[in-house]
């Protein structure tokens, strides 16, 4: 039964602070960004409706991930005739594994910002081209006269470097 008292300001603050982590969780389970915003919106609505169930002593993100997982599954059912990247078994398995990463996930965005600053200028420019200016990897490769495969491999390495940097610096005061 939906809660009718409404979310408290504290609840909404936690919800807002968790948006980027929830988005990343949903994108991972969908296998891409298509429809991820819709699923996030549905998840937010469910969380607000069920806010009375939240135990404020428990980590918010783990609780929110559970709702997000259900919304991903519901979304998959509605898209049964569309091409899906992952199968059901994988989604369930991966959701469980990803929930293990929930701790401090809501601070990853800030750490990521600093990790990007630590990239060399050329790599930072590539990240900016792909994610800030929205260029496709193929277009970047063409513009720089590099093979697409080589450029894709470079982006893979860059994301790996950033992931390692975030992992090793999460929870620390700052990066030097």
Partner 1 sequence: MNKDRPTFEQLCHAVLEGSASEAELEQFRERLHSSAADREAYYQQMQIHALLIWQNGRAAVPESLVLAPMDYSEKSNIIPFPFRRALLAAAAAVTLLLGFSFWLVPDLSYRGLSLAVQKGVSVDILASSGAPYQVGQRVMLQRLEMQTGSLRFRVSSGAVLDFEGPVSLEFLNPMRLRLERGSINTDVGNEAKGFVVETPTANVLDIGTRFGTSVCADGSTDIAVFDGEVHVYRAGLPLSQESRLASLVEGEAARVSARDAKLERLNMLTLKGGRLQVRGLNSPDSPVVLNVSDNIKQANFYRCYTILPGGMAEGALASLSFKAYLQLKWHAIPGQPFPEELKGADLIGTFQSFAKHERGETSKNDISLDLSRPCAVYVLFDTQATPPEWLQRDFRDTGLRVRSGPWGKFARAVRDLDPDANGELNLTHSVWRRDVLSAATVKLGPPGNLGTSYPYAMYGVAVKALE
Phi, psi dihedral angles at 18 (to 5 degrees): -95, 0
Between 73 and 125, CB nearer to partner 1: 125
Residue 147: other Cβ atoms inside 10 A: 10
C-alpha torsion angle, residues 54, 56, 61, 65 (rounded to 10):
-20
Distance in Å, CB of 77 to partner 1, minimum: 18
Helices and strands, counts by H and E, the chain:
9, 0
Neighbours of 108 (CB within 10 A): 19
Could you tell me the smallest distance in angstroms from the CB atom of residue 48 to partner 1? 5
Q: Measured from the CB of residue 79, what is the shortest distance to partner 1 in angstroms?
A: 14
Least distance between partner 1 and beta carbon 55 (Å)? 18
- Note the residues at the interface with partner 1 (CB under 8 A): 6-13, 15-16, 19-20, 23-24, 27-28, 31-34, 36-37, 40-41, 44-45, 48-49, 83, 85-87, 89-90, 94, 97-98, 101, 108-110, 112-113, 120-121, 125, 127, 129-138, 143-144, 149, 152-153, 155-156, 159-160, 162-163, 166
Instruction: Choose between 78 and 149: whose C-beta lies nearer to partner 1.
Output: 149
Residue 80's Cα: distance from chain center in Å? 23
Q: In angstroms, rounded to a whole number, what is the distance separating the alpha carbons of residues 115 and 74? A: 35
Q: Which is nearer to partner 1, 41 or 78 (CB)?
A: 41
* Residue length of the chain: 176
Residue number with CB closer to partner 1 (79 or 159): 159
């Amino acid at each position: 039964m939906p809660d009718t008292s409404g979310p408290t300001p504290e609840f909404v603050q936690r919800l807002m602070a968790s948006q980027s982590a929830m988005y990343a969780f949903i994108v991972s389970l969908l296998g891409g960004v298509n429809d991820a915003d819709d699923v996030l919106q549905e998840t937010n609505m469910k969380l607000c409706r069920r806010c009375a169930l939240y135990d404020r002593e428990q980590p918010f993100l783990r609780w929110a991930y559970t709702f997000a997982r259900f919304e991903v599954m519901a979304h998959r059912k509605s898209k049964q005739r569309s091409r899906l990247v992952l199968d059901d078994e994988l989604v369930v398995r991966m959701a469980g594994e990803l929930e293990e990463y929930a701790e401090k996930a809501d601070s990853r965005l800030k750490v990521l910002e600093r990790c990007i600053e630590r990239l060399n200028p050329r790599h930072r420019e590539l990240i900016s081209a792909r994610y800030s200016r929205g260029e496709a990897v193929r277009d970047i490769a063409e513009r720089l006269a590099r093979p697409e495969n080589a450029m894709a491999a470079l982006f893979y390495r860059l994301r790996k470097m950033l992931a390692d940097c975030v992992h090793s610096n999460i929870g620390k005061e700052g990066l030097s």
